[in-house]
Amino acid sequence: MTETPTTRRALIAAAGASLAAASFGGSALAQSASRGAPKAAVLTPEQKALVEKATSYIQGLSSAKGRFIQTDQRGTVTQGTLYLQRPGKARFAYDGPSGLLVVSNGNNVNIFDSRLKTFESYPLSRTPLALLLAREVRLDRGVVVTDVRRLADGFTIVAQDARRQTLGRISLDFSDGPVSLIGWTVSDVKGSQIRVRLVDFEKTAGLDPKLFVLTDPRPRRAGAKS
């Protein structure tokens, strides 16, 4: 598959910045409309218990901070700092020389690329990680859990949007004892993936509200309409 700059930015936002679904174009929406609804897995009692643990953990996660390490399908690795404030808010500040800053303000996800001098905005409700930032996390409502599997030191929950507003799927990785989020993988409808691993991701307090505000920083051209 040929990866265009637009697809790459959307995938970056979906996984590393975590909040914008890949392929926002009309063709992708047409693909979504033609596909059947995702099929929920028949979970064992143990798998159901893991889903309940993950839901309880996310629901109790109000503010948190940590580092993230992102790997795309070509093996390119980027890093940065993540700030999270539920409901709805997140900030992914990429280390240089990436030039990316991604901020969810609760309604939209804004993406500024200082190298390309571009600014983009996507609705938060159309993104795979909207379930992580929701006010009330319900993995049994509005989301189809298609798989729950054990890892060596934790477990993974694979989910898709039951209403198909969000294209692709997300796999959330959790550690055991105590349960905590350690990363995720976002896959788009064409099979492209970006993986994110969290490091030193811990609950915190007193995050500056300005962290979750991002307006277009590019200077306005003379004569541009307001």
Q: Which residues, at least 6 apart from 111, have a Cβ–Cβ distance to it below 8 Å?
A: 9, 12, 13, 17, 20, 100, 101, 102, 118, 119, 120, 121, 122
Per residue in 131-155, pLDDT (tens digit) is 778 888 766 666 788 899 999 899 9
What is the C-alpha separation between 76 and 94, in angstroms, rounded? 14
Backbone angles phi, psi at 212, to 5 degrees: -105, 25
Tokens of 58: 């996310």
The per-residue pLDDT for 159 is: 84
Q: What is the per-residue pLDDT for 216?
A: 84
Q: How far is CA 160 from CA 11, 60, 69, 152, 207, in A?
A: 16, 22, 23, 24, 30
Residue 184 pLDDT > 60: yes
For residue 34, the model assigns a pLDDT of 39
Is 216 in a helix, a strand, or coil? coil
Domain 5-212: give its CATH architecture.
Clam (2.50)
Please, what sign has the CA dihedral across residues 104, 11, 193, 80? negative
- Nearest 5 degrees, angle CA 219-CA 224-CA 226? 90
Tell me what percent of the residues of the chain surpass a pLDDT of 90.
Answer: 33
CA angle at residue 70 from 83 to 194, to 5 degrees?
115
Which of 62-71, 87-96, 186-195 shows the lowest mean pLDDT across its residues? 186-195
Q: Which range has the top average pLDDT, 61-65, 124-128, 188-192? A: 61-65
Give mean pLDDT, residues 178-195.
Answer: 84
| Position 7, amino acid | T
